[in-house]
Amino acid sequence: MKIAVTTASGNLGSSIVKHLKKEIGSENVIGIARTPEKAKSLGVEIRKGDYNSKEDFLSALKGVDKVVLVSGMDHPDKRIQQHRNVIEAAKENGVKKIVYTSIIGSAEGNAFSPIVASNRQTEEDIKNSGLQWAIGRNGLYIEPDLEYIENYIKEGGIINSAADGLCGYTSRQELAYAYFKLVSDDKLNGNTYNLFGKPITQNELTKAINKAFNTNLVYKSISVDEYTALRKAALGEFMGTVIGGIYEGIRMGKFSGISDFSTVTGRAHKSIDEMIINFLNK
């Protein structure tokens, strides 16, 4: 049984590869990366695969039984065809099953919605592919907040536009375990699963960070427009709009809901405190 993982050099892709390697052995795992050199340290066979090239994936998916398609990071208008290149190459290679890492959120109503909408289209393309499939909708990663801690300390707090909105956070480690289950357990086929922990507010996130990092941060909510303008100034138009849209979505309650993590994995999702401890101990 050969399982391939796309964007193996990225944060989520590499986490999934490492977990699969531990569970089924490195000889059964294939990493696919646009720049293979960046994924060499994973200790599995690495094949070249650029989402813009169906030809790359016709080669990369040879002899593969199942593939984990990690959602691309390009502009929404490009991502749908990029993902289709993988789906079509999987079909032509006789791949049996495709597992997709999608995202929770609303396909309309905020500045992050175009990305969610492109993911929903890929979900439909996979369902219509004729392959066996399973889809995970990821909550927001906790790692970016924890990696940003020095900035939060400098700024004296966590400042965004989420207000009192609840957000279901997850971690790349938790997701790696869930995607191992989704790709290996065929009883989970044919369904879409929300993957995140107990939804929390930004105030609760701030308290958890203070407890773990021994900081005295406070949470301050500002307007959506003000926060988006700050993010655009720091990150550029595209990423600034995306990040602004995510926090607008949290404010609107679009990153909360019922999680299916325990259905997929057979255990509860780690708490915010446990995820932060894992991050600090890695």
Are 173 and 143 in contact by the 8 Å Cβ rule? The answer is: no
Q: Quick one: pLDDT at residue 111?
A: 87
195-239 tens-digit pLDDT: 999 999 999 999 999 999 999 999 999 999 999 999 999 999 999
> What is the C-alpha to C-alpha distance for residues 21 and 15, in angstroms, rounded to an integer?
10
> What is the C-alpha to C-alpha distance for residues 165 and 240, in angstroms, rounded to an integer?
20
Instruction: Report the chain's C-alpha Rg in angstroms.
Output: 19
Q: Give burial (CB, 10 Å; 0-12/13-18/19+) of 51.
A: buried
Contacts of 53 (CB under 8 A, 6+ apart): 85
Identity of the residue numbered 134: A
pTM score over 0.75: yes
Helix (H) or strand (E) holding 103: strand 97-103
> What is the C-alpha to C-alpha distance for residues 158 and 206, in angstroms, rounded to an integer?
7
Q: Does the pLDDT value for residue 13 go beyond 90?
A: yes
- The percent of residues in the chain predicted with pLDDT above 90, rounded, is 96
> What is the C-alpha to C-alpha distance for residues 246 and 257, in angstroms, rounded to an integer?
15
> What is the C-alpha to C-alpha distance for residues 4 and 111, in angstroms, rounded to an integer?
32
Q: Quick one: pLDDT at residue 74?
A: 87
> What is the C-alpha to C-alpha distance for residues 244 and 160, in angstroms, rounded to an integer?
8
Residue 247 corresponds to which tokens in the numbers above?
Answer: 């926090």
Residue among 93, 85, 94 at smallest CA distance from 125: 85
Query: In the 8-state DSSP scheme, what is residue 46?
Result: E
> What is the C-alpha to C-alpha distance for residues 95 and 167, in angstroms, rounded to an integer?
35
Q: What is the mean pLDDT of the chain?
A: 96
User: Selecting from 3.40.50.2300, 1.10.3720.10, 3.40.50.720, 3.40.630.30, what CATH number does the domain 3-137+171-195+258-267 have?
Assistant: 3.40.50.720
First vs last C-alpha separation in the chain = 29
Residue 280 corresponds to which tokens in the numbers above?
Answer: 């600090």
Domain edges within the chain: 3-137+171-195+258-267
> What is the C-alpha to C-alpha distance for residues 122 and 147, in angstroms, rounded to an integer?
30
When pLDDT is cut at 50, 70 and 90, the band that residue 26 belongs to is: very high
Diameter over CA atoms, the chain = 56
When pLDDT is cut at 50, 70 and 90, the band that residue 118 belongs to is: very high
